[in-house]
Structure 1
Amino acid sequence: MKDRNFNDMGIFKKDKLQIINFQSYGSATRLYVRGRAIEDENIDLDQKGIFNLMKNTWKRFETDEIKNAPIKITFSNGETVEGVTDNDGYYLIDENIAGLQNLANEEGWVKFELSFGNTKLKREILLQNRFPGEMLIPGDNAKFGVISDIDDTILHTGVVSSLKWKVIINTMFKRATKRSQLEGASDFYTKLHMGKSGDEANPIFYVSHSPWNLYRYLELFLKTNNFPKGPVLLRSMASFKMRKKSDEKPQKQKEISNLLTAYPELPFILIGDSGEKDGDIYQEISTLFPGRIKAIYLRSVNHSKRMARIENLFADFKDIPFLMVNKTEEAIEHAKKNGFI
């Protein structure tokens, strides 16, 4: 990544500036907004051809971040909130603001606009310095939330392949609009979102170990395959390089804990796969938050040793409904019997 300061951006001929908002979540009194300010690389996620796919993959990871940039959020009622990007161009605005639920639509989404706070920039800015953003506030009708992994849970990825070569090939050489979902996954998630009554609007949160650089790629995959709209929670590239402490929890577990803490009255269903650490994380979450997990679903993967480990891990797990999912129909039937859909 290029080391560029916000104040000297006019020295070179550069791309226009943009602000990307990562769909996040909040409450009636909490604003929790994430995103990143970077240069526009003109990435076309649906562009065809191997060369174009490789070029766009390079652009997604070779980002030119806008450091220490003041930004502003403007709501539909005219109220504004200010923030600033960090040294990697990311921003996180976490503030207590009353009345946010009055700005939400029937699905709980609060729309707003983002803009660069410095209007005297020596750089061109996309979209007349007006960038769309959204934040989800679960409604009163919601009976539970769903926290789902992405890779090999709803998206064919190959995380259990040797040296992760399938992950690399799928990401570099396949367009988001051509990636395959696991059979019936979007139908199952839509049923969970609607709930038993059909109008619960249960929130769906997508959590992955993938970097934020893949946010728009994954967002397009979810939209193309008709998954319910929901916050997509990833991690920064910097976290891949950091040496973790022996007792430090995975980023995915931290995000899940944050969600359960954010909504103390809302129970959750956890969905993942048996290829990585989802089983371990979900078990620990259920212990840390007793009475909050309604069910755990883990997708089966084509790896005998990992499957055997998960079966052994959950052999004595009796307090929370658990299902190893071979086919989505099994999960749908299980959810019906337990009154989720």
Structure 2
Amino acid sequence: MPDSAMPFLVLTRAGFDDVAARVDLARAALYLNPGLLTESEIARLRETGTAVHVMATAVDPLKPQEVQQALLLTRSAGGSVWVERGAPRATPVAKAAERLQPASPAQNPATPLGRRLARSAGVLALDALRRLRAPEHGRRLLAVPYLGFGNTHRIWLKGRLLDEAAFREQSGTDSGWQNLVALYRRLESDEVADARVLARLQAQTFETRTDAGGYFSFDFAPDAPLSPGWHTVELEFPDNVQPDGAALRAQADIKVPAAGARFGIISDIDDTVLWTNVTNKLNMALMLARTNHHTRKPFKGVAGFYRALRDGVSGNEDNPLFYVSSSPWHLYGPLVDFLKLQDIPLGPLLLRELSVRQVLKLTEHGNHKLEQIERIIDFYPGMQFILIGDSGEQDPEIYTEVVRRHPGAVKMIYIRNVNPDPSRIDALDRLIDEVSAVGTQLVLSPDSVFAASHAAAEGLIAVDRLASIRTDKRDDELASPPGTTL
């Protein structure tokens, strides 16, 4: 989309007529409900320079949640979108002057005065508590560095500083109550804000500070090129003196892809690698509370399929894997432990920054995933990627938007079909047609063996790995508890 193009989310014919009467369509980007305009009308618009995108799934202008999900996939980072407002059902024709309203990422609904005052008091109390805590002396803190990634000339890593000595290691014999307590402790961990963080690599030192959530991040260029493989960044928190009198220290690992890597793999986690039932928030909460990384199981055959993708058709390509999920960073440790226990290739995880009250409110997961995928692509402009997700929520729409923005960067899309609803299948068929127009395949797959067979036929993995993937799937079936469907 050109920088000068103003995006419009248009949901009805009346809304389109209103936009056409008000703006120069040659300088607009239109996101339209399917069937709103005829093919000839769309062709004429494109001939005059209008950027026209037909959404795969129809959006009801009277349903705010559907409008919000569409908005996440249309607005550019930090920008605004003109959104058609649904008219009240009692007045089906709205005034033209009221039909469009600007939406910005920071827009919030009005809040009653009493609630705003209570919230302000809470923020002030929290800030006061943080000021009393800083600097931190003599208390045991926990630095949680996350796996980072980079190329030969640039590094990105993230982590968090918490007011916790440690999390208790969980086991396969933990009860549901012990799992619930462990989950609560992770979600309610106290962050340490405004703390200095030093990162050292190749005799260079970089500095930042933790934000209000205790998170810190680095994006820097080392003096000397980095070789492929894993590298260690030394972290120090100089103002956070521990009981032994020394400053808190930690180490962060970063991965630079191998020179022989043919492609990268970007995978969702929820309901793609690990069954979480993310489309049903109550069941998801119960699952998280009842189980841990020892007792959860992957989708059948995922481990073998991902190992084959990592190794590639030659068997030694070392193609990098990245995991992008709407799960909160609080669950980073258990997710990494799960990948290790299941022998699923390890790679950087890019999760969400969430408070405990927001953990199950995933309505804006699409925006997060899109931003993180674009971050990865930005680091590897010459690399193509395989995108893997499921049809339960917005993965197909998000991946299609990636293709729109970076048509040459997406080699293949594999979507696990977990939603048999005919309207959802129709929407996916439209996405398949759209991405195929630029040479990308979107493959609906019932399971990992099907996806692996397609990947072998496309020359992405070695054909002789199919037998081991089938064996891996059978082993997962035998390991699944009775009655479990994965």
TM-score where L is the length of structure 1:
0.87
- Distance in 1 separating the partners of 2:136 and 2:457: 64
Larger Rg: 2
> 1:79: how far off?
3.5
In structure 2, how many angstroms separate the alpha carbons of the residues matched to 1:165 and 1:118? 41
Question: Using a 3 Å threshold, how does the CA distance of structure 1 residues 88 and 316 change in structure 2: closer, same or farther?
Answer: same
Deviations 1:243-264 (CA, angstroms, capped at 9, x unpaired): xxxx996110010111111110
Find the residue that maps to 1:19 and give its secondary structure: strand
Q: 2:151 aligns with which of 27, 45, 64?
A: 27
CA distance in 1, matches of 2:211, 2:156: 16
Look up the equivalent residue of 1:340 and give its one-letter code: L
Secondary structure in 1 aligned to 2:183?
A: helix
1:142 equivalent among 257, 261, 266: 261
Secondary structure at the aligned position of 1:279 is classed as helix
| Sequence identity (%) | 31
The match for 2:208 is 83
Question: Retained in 1: the 8 A contact 2:391–2:419?
Answer: no
Is contact 2:200–2:234 with CA below 8 Å preserved after alignment? Answer: yes
Q: Match for residue 397 of structure 2?
A: 280
User: Quick one: which of 250, 264, 267 aligns to 1:131?
Assistant: 250
One-letter code aligned to 2:307: T
Match of 1:50 in 2: 176
Which of 120, 130, 133 is 1:5 aligned to? 130
**Shift in CA distance, 315/70, structure 1 to aligned 2, threshold 3 Å:** closer
* Contact 1:279–1:310 (8 Å) recurs in 2: no
Contact 1:17 1:124 in 2 (8 A): no
> Paired residue for 2:456?
336
> Displacement, 1:96?
1.9
Name stretches of at least 5 consecutive residues in structure 2 with no aligned partner: 1-121, 359-363, 462-486
Q: In 1, distance between residues paired with 2:356 and 2:189?
A: 16
Q: How does 1:1-341 map to 2 (within 5 A)?
A: 4-5=129-130, 8-9=133-134, 16-40=140-164, 42-47=166-171, 48-75=174-201, 77-102=202-227, 108-118=229-239, 121=241, 123-124=242-243, 129-161=248-280, 164-237=281-354, 250-305=367-422, 307-317=424-434, 318=436, 319-341=439-461
**1:140-161 alpha-carbon deviations (Å, 9 max, x no partner):** 1111000000011010111233
Distance of 1:156 and 1:305 partners within structure 2:
23
Gaps of 5+ in 1: 242-246
- In 2, the alpha carbon distance for the partners of 1:332 and 1:208 equals 22
Aligned length: 328
Q: Residues 323 and 114 of structure 1: is their aligned pair in 2 closer, same or farther, counting only changes over 3 Å?
A: same
Q: Tell me the TM-score normalised to structure 2 length.
A: 0.62
- Per the alignment, residue 244 of structure 1 pairs with none
8 Å CA contact 2:197, 2:207 repeated in 1: yes
In structure 2, relative to structure 1, the CA distance for the partners of 1:223 and 1:40 (3 Å cut) is same
- Compared CA separation, residues 62 and 239, structure 1 to 2 (3 A): closer
Q: 1:209 to 1:194 in 2, by over 3 A?
A: same
2:298 is paired with a residue whose SS is coil
- 1:217 is displaced (CA, Å) by 1.4
Cα offset for 1:34?
0.4
Q: CA deviation at 1:124?
A: 3.1
C-alpha change, 1:116 and 1:275, in structure 2 (3 Å) is same
Q: Which has the higher contact order (CA 8 A, sep 6+)?
A: 1
Give the conservation status (yes or no) of the 8 Å contact 1:66–1:85: yes
Q: CA, structure 1 residues 236+322, in 2 after alignment: closer, same or farther (shift >3 Å)?
A: same
Change over 3 Å in CA distance of 1:277–1:325 after alignment to 2:
same
> Quick one: which amino acid aligns to residue 116 of structure 1?
F
Separation (CA, whole Å) in 1 of partners of 2:356 and 2:381: 28
Structure 1 residue 224 displacement after superposition:
0.9
**Aligned residues of 2:199 and 2:206 also touching (Cα < 8 A):** yes
Give distance in 1, aligned partners of 2:313 and 2:136: 59
Contact conserved, 2:432 with 2:441, CA < 8 A, in 1?
Answer: no
- What is the distance in 1 between the residues matched to 2:302 and 2:341? 13
1: CA distance, partners of 2:414 / 2:237: 42
User: CA RMSD for the aligned pairs?
Assistant: 2.9
Shift of residue 11 of structure 1? 9.1
Give the match's secondary structure for 1:150. coil
- Residues in 2 aligned to 1:221 and 1:55: alpha-carbon distance in whole angstroms: 19
Amino acid at match of 1:283: T
Amino acid in the other structure paired with 2:206:
V
1:133-184 deviations in Å (ceiling 9; x for gaps): 11111121111000000011010111233xx222111111101111110001
Output the amino acid matched with 2:243. Answer: E
| Deviation >6 Å, runs of 4+ | 125-128
**TM-aligned CA distance change 1:11 to 1:41, over 3 Å:** closer
Deviations 1:109-143 (A, max 9, x none): 11122121226x3x537997331211111121111
Answer yes or no: is the 8 Å Cα contact 2:311–2:317 preserved in 1.
yes
Query: Taking structure 1 as reference, are residues 127 and 273 closer, same or farther at Cα in structure 2, changes over 3 Å only?
Result: farther
- Post-superposition offset of 1:51: 2.3
Q: Pick closer, same or farther for the CA change 1:37–1:11 going to 2, 3 Å.
A: closer
CA deviations on 1:73-125 (whole Å, 9 max, x unpaired) are 233x44332221111110011122232514x5xxx211122121226x3x537
Does the residue aligned with 2:273 lie in a helix, a strand or coil?
coil
> Contact (CA 8 Å) 2:135, 2:239: kept in 1 or not?
no
Whole-angstrom distance in 2 between the partners of 1:306 and 1:209: 24
Residues 298 and 221 (structure 1), Cα distance of their counterparts in 2 relative to 1, 3 Å cut? same
